Chain A
Amino acid sequence: MKPELELTSQSDLDIVEAAHWLPPQAPMEMPEQQLERPRVRLGGRRFLPSLIFRQRV
């Protein structure tokens, strides 16, 4: 099969991403996963695990 684009000196200067370069459009849902537990506040202080791995914000 012969590709549409050829490496000629002119096309070298003009290469841009073409629509047919892209993979097929077939969307799939990807729900974001929960990895951190919601922070629990006890007596006004952050509780574990955020107490242990406290972040500098």
Chain B
Amino acid sequence: MRKPLAPDTRTVVVRSLAITLSVVAALSATVLLAEAAIQDGLDAWDVVRSALIFITTAWLAWGASLAFTGLPGRALRAQDEAPRAPQPPTVVLVPICNEDPVATFARIAAMDSSSRAAGIRADFAILSDTRDEAAALKERHAYVRLLEETGGQGRIFYRRRSSNRGRKAGNIEEFIRTSGGAYEFAVILDADSLMEGATIRTMIARMQADPRLGLLQTLPRVIGSRSLFGRAMQFAAAFHGPVFTRGLARMQGHTGPFWGHNAIVRVRAFAESCALPELTGRPPFGGHILSHDYVEAALLARAGWSVRVDGAIEGSYEEGPDNLLAYARRDRRWCQGNLQHMRLLTAPGLSAWSRFVFVQGIFAYLVSLLWGGFMLASIAATLNAPAPDYFPEPHALFPVFPSDRSKEITALVFGIAGLLVLPKVAIWTGAALSGRDRGFGGTLKAGLSVLTEIALSSVIAPVMLMYQSRSVLQVLSGRDGGWPANQRGEGRLRWRDGVQAGLWISAVGAVTLLVASSVAPDLAPWLLPVCLPMLAAPALITLTSRRLGRSLFDIPEERDMPDIVRLYTVTHASWQNGAQGKARQATPETGVADVAL
């Protein structure tokens, strides 16, 4: 086994600066809080909340440092590149499990056409893990349709596993064990991924140019969102995403990320280093590795391969959750997967940075619990504070009033808000200066979208904090969330759904506010920004799922629809229309039944 590649000087400098910024910001916040807390004497709760504010602020500052690291530099668009002849054999893998086959296979038809137009010879392999026989039959029908429409026999393949051992990672692993020898590169997609042929061509060229490169990850742009929630997320991903990703690329160097899809891998590298074992014990911490992509990236790096991310490669797309509940459901799975990485922190041979990446992933979820803990510790500290002593000296004529520390607390609140807001404002400024904001409706409209997204994410944050805290507690208490199928395309929620999903959050918010008002009235106003959105959780969940027109959150892909999206839209529409006339299909159980293809 080769050794992991050492980070270059620039990567080391960037990492050191980011860590320094985070520690300085965290220390500043801790000092401000300690100064305010110490005025009535230091107790155990003050120590607890000081420690918590140190950790949580360091986390926020780390996120901000990613953005600042990614800001300098010119174009956020990579040049198209062409591979050297002969083009290495390449396959595009589309693992699916209980997906809508018409939409998924229409995407494959569009990508096949786009690849051929770009002069790329790529096979496509649909790797089905669908367990339901009726759904599998629909897949077979859609596959035959796909062959018919594309003439793809011998180029587009379909296989269904008899057992879905190892889930998605096991699905890809099975393909490589069976067919990996036929290909040099594999583009790994999700069922909702779309990729331009020119993008695949560029990725192949990059892999060819750097023989040490084991995996190249693109930044998929989110498309197709219609709700307020979905469009805000879509805008943030398109506007802020490329800058954060460039920061990540500079920070991680050769030890870059793998997000599980919209990436290309060197098949030999993947085969020799990425067969995942089943962890001892039962889920959630044992069993199959849920967040396999982070682990695969770490294993490639362990075996001496370079793993890179390039957010400037365009033409890579995916769809995102269109409401808060779909987002929270996906987050529950990611939470379990990331916490499971606790078992892998001591895995042999990993680079220190890979271990640190695992810690970051774990922290992304633990931090919600820590923010909640900070709030509770603040209430407890206020409860335990001694009554002010206005006459500390016996026989004094005049009272001594405790010094007002609201200045420190205000500075702390503004500092923390600054860590959240400043990077986004800086990205907007950078976009205005470079002209990148034209694709987002111009400087003014982009600015308005940025501000609205900041306001919306601030209001949603306490609700997400509650969902994430619940997920963490469930996982730590041993509850396995499994791997529920993605529910793509679900959008608008009814009030009943919002109330059912959000009532417990309202109750927690109400109790927190009531308790704080009665035992620590001075503290209650500071809790309002957190407790009010919690009280309004059902309304937030429901209303943010409502459709939003193009009044805000424009993205370049809406102003100028990419060719691959247009191709997919047309293909999907024609297949759907064709399918409407074919309502009666066979099922294995009954022979004939109503099936909407």
Contact = CB atoms under 8 A, between A and B. Distances in A.
Q: Do A and B bind each other?
A: yes
Interface string B271-289: 1111111011110011001
Interface in A1-57: 1-7, 11-13, 15-17, 20-37, 48-49, 53, 55-57
A30 B177 contact: yes
15 contacts: A15-B144, A17-B140, A20-B153, A23-B125, A25-B178, A32-B277, A36-B280, A36-B344, A37-B346, A37-B348, A49-B343, A49-B345, A55-B280, A55-B282, A56-B281
A6 B148 contact: yes
B267 interface: yes
B279 A36 contact: yes
A7 B148 contact: yes
Contacts of A49: 343, 345-346
Contacts of B585: 12
Nearest to A35: B347
A25 B175 CA distance: 10
A36 B340 CA distance: 12
Nearest to B279: A36
A20 B144 CA distance: 12
B346 A33 contact: no
B337 to A, nearest CB: 14
A53 to B, nearest CB: 6
Contacts of B582: 12
Contact of A33 (B153, B160, B273, B285): B273
A5 B147 contact: yes
B182 A23 contact: yes
Interface in B459-492: 478
B179 A25 contact: yes
A26 B196 CA distance: 27
A32 to B, nearest CB: 5
B159 A23 contact: yes
Interface of B: 91, 123, 125, 137, 140-141, 143-145, 147-148, 151-154, 157-160, 173, 175-183, 267-268, 271-277, 279-282, 285-286, 289, 295, 299, 342-348, 478, 582, 585-586, 591-592
Contact of A2 (B141, B151, B160, B272): B151
- Chain A binding surface SS class: loop
Nearest to B140: A15
Nearest to B277: A32
A18 to B, nearest CB: 9
A2 B286 CA distance: 49
Contacts of A21: 143, 157-159
Contacts of A24: 179, 182
A16 B348 CA distance: 45
Given A6-B148, A24-B179, A27-B177, A32 B275 contact: yes
A11 B253 CA distance: 53
A15 B141 contact: yes
Nearest to A4: B153
A20 B159 contact: no
A28 B145 CA distance: 31
Given A21-B143, A55-B282, A1 B346 contact: no
4 A-B pairs closest in CB distance: A55-B281, A26-B181, A28-B180, A1-B151
A30 B271 contact: yes
Contact of B181 (A4, A28, A53, A57): A28
Given A30-B177, A49-B345, A53-B285, A17 B273 contact: no
A17 B158 contact: yes
Given A13-B591, A37-B347, 7 more contacts: A5-B144, A6-B148, A12-B582, A17-B159, A20-B153, A33-B275, A35-B289
Contacts of A28: 176-177, 179-181, 267-268, 271
Nearest to A30: B275
A20 B154 CA distance: 7
A38 B286 CA distance: 15
A23 B90 CA distance: 12
Contacts of A3: 144, 147-148, 151-153
A48 B586 CA distance: 56
Nearest to B347: A35
B271 A29 contact: yes
B348 A34 contact: yes
Contacts of B348: 34, 37
B148 A33 contact: no
